[in-house]
Amino acid sequence: ATGGPIVTDLLLCGKPNLPPNAFPVNLQCCPPMPASEPVNFKLPDPSEPLRTRRPAHVAGAEYMAKYERAIALMKALPRSDPRSFYQQANIHCAYCTGAYRQVGHPELAVQVHYSWLFFPFHRAYVYFFERIAGKLLGDPGFALPFWSWDVPEGMRMPMAFVNSSSPLYDPLRNTRHAPPKLVDLDFMGAEKNYTDEQQIIHNLRIMYKQMISSAPLASLFLGQPFRAGDSDKPGPGSVEMYPHNTLHVWSGDISRPNTEDMGDNYSAGRDPLFYAHHANVDRIWEAWRHINNNTFHVDFKDPDWLNSSFLFYDEEARLVRITVHDILDIEKLRYAYHGVSLPWLNARP
């Protein structure tokens, strides 16, 4: 029988299916085994400070310096620590390369891309990442910066990531796309040679298309249903294809075989830019739900979606099982977005 939620089990994590010329060649990306069974996720205490995520281009030096320190602290942890940067990056590899097999269907992969798992999985991933960072910093209000590539002022790789002596730097990027180069939200590998003004208009139209014209329903925005017993990658939502995927490839080093780091799933989490990119993807999900007067912008109610679950280590290094229904209310998760508007709302082509 098929159907039911996709459930992740650490015992069903094994060899990743890596692209040719991936490195290191013997990469294993399953997390360390826990001392005991996973615990079920509990929402944070409502009295916790609200973590207000700010756009990287206006957050200010002090705010970005905190993110820098957090990444340095994660990189300094031993690789065996599930909160280390090494293990955090591997989470993406494990969920995106078929390392996890489906409970009850070991011949089938768990895959969090190209389906309705895309937004909830990445929300949970970034949520734990942020809390681990806050814990290491001793700052319970720590919030991630987001890369607001959908507003004109945010349409460059944020400066804080480009300084080669910063922990936020990654040498495996496309050097042609360093600032002041503007992002190209539907980048397919060829440079467009637009003027900045043309590129901004183009990008805003892409946003309008992906958020409004192409995404009137949950399945079109969030992605196609993916249930236990289904083959992976049934179909992505509009924004997952672009700007999400396209910006991965836009950021990665095209001289590498798989556009590492950002341009391939197995390596994307190795770039600190990934977490700022995904904070914005997550913000865009919130924006989609709140687009005015569109009563169709509501999430799935399907129990197979709501009960799908993932495993993460939390800031105390405890293994936690989190389900999609746990993470639908960001206020209850004690974070918020601040600092940018939605200029593409009026950019109907």
Q: Which residues of this chain interact with ligand C2O, rule CB under 6 A?
A: 92, 96, 113, 122, 244, 248, 268, 278
CB of 112 to ligand C2O, least distance (A): 6
Return the residue matching tokens 């936690």. Answer: 320
What count of other Cβ atoms lies within 10 Å of the Cβ of residue 230?
18
Bridge partners of residue 343, in order along the sequence: none
Q: Specify the residue, 135 or 173, whose C-beta has the smaller distance to ligand C2O.
A: 173
Q: Specify the residue, 63 or 274, whose C-beta has the smaller distance to ligand C2O.
A: 274
Rounded to 5 degrees, what angle do the CA atoms 254, 260, 264 make?
A: 105
d(CA 177, CA 230): 38
Q: 297 labelled as ligand-binding?
A: no
CB of 265 to ligand C2O, least distance (A): 6
Following DSSP, what letter does each residue of 129-145 receive, concatenated?
A: HHHHHHHHHT-TT---E
Q: Specify the residue, 103 or 262, whose C-beta has the smaller distance to ligand C2O.
A: 262
CB of 347 to ligand C2O, least distance (A): 23
CB of 247 to ligand C2O, least distance (A): 8
Identify whether the C-beta of residue 300 lies closer than 8 Å to the C-beta of residue 222: yes
Distances (CA, A) of 246 to 112, 136, 297: 17, 32, 24
CB of 61 to ligand C2O, least distance (A): 27
Rounded to 5 degrees, what angle do the CA atoms 310, 311, 317 make?
A: 155
Reduced to 3 states (helix: H, G, I; strand: E, B; else coil), residue 75 is helix
CB of 262 to ligand C2O, least distance (A): 8
Give the β-pairing of 101-102 and 309-313.
unpaired
| Biggest CA pair distance of the chain | 57
CB of 72 to ligand C2O, least distance (A): 23
Rounded to 5 degrees, what angle do the CA atoms 236, 171, 149 make?
A: 45
Q: Specify the residue, 12 or 249, whose C-beta has the smaller distance to ligand C2O.
A: 249
Q: 338 labelled as ligand-binding?
A: no
d(CA 296, CA 47): 33
d(CA 29, CA 96): 10
Q: Specify the residue, 227 or 248, whose C-beta has the smaller distance to ligand C2O.
A: 248
Q: Specify the residue, 135 or 248, whose C-beta has the smaller distance to ligand C2O.
A: 248
Q: 202 labelled as ligand-binding?
A: no
Q: Specify the residue, 230 or 240, whose C-beta has the smaller distance to ligand C2O.
A: 240
Number of H helices, E strands in the chain: 9, 8
d(CA 122, CA 127): 8
CB of 117 to ligand C2O, least distance (A): 10
Q: Which residues, including other chains, have CB under 8 Å from residue 256's CB and lie 6 or more apart? A: 172, 263
Q: List, as residue ranges, the binding site.
A: 92, 113, 122, 244, 248, 278
Return binding residues for Cu cation.
Answer: 92, 113, 122, 244, 248, 278
